């Protein structure tokens, strides 16, 4: 396996594991925050879900420049 292929595989694995952890704990986190402020719970949920796509967008921009 070439070094750049290994690096891409490791990066994808880290992003995937991070996304699975966030999505697994997201409902309980949003419900817990929603006890204090429903609007804040919405914002936190939206930021965490959009963050997943933002990371892939940033990675694509970085790869396009390289």
Tens digit of each residue's pLDDT (9 = 90 or more) over 9-37: 888 899 889 889 989 999 999 999 999 99
Question: pTM to 2 decimals?
Answer: 0.71
* Chain segment 27-66, per-residue pLDDT in tens: 999 999 999 999 999 999 999 989 888 988 888 888 788 7
Domain that holds residue 9: 3-65
Alpha-carbon distance of 49 to 1, in angstroms, equals 32
- As a whole-number percent, the residues of the chain with pLDDT over 90 amount to 42
Q: Is 40 helix (H, G, I), strand (E, B) or coil?
A: helix
**pLDDT of 1:** 66
> Look-up: residue for tokens 């006890």?
35
For the chain, how many structural domains are there in total?
A: 1
């Amino acid at each position: 396996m070439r070094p750049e292929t290994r690096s891409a595989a490791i990066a994808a694995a880290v992003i995937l594991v991070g996304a699975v952890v966030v999505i697994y704990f997201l409902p309980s986190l949003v419900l817990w925050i929603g006890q204090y402020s429903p609007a804040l719970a919405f914002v936190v949920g939206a930021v965490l879900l959009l963050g997943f796509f933002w990371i892939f967008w940033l990675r694509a921009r970085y790869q396009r420049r390289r």
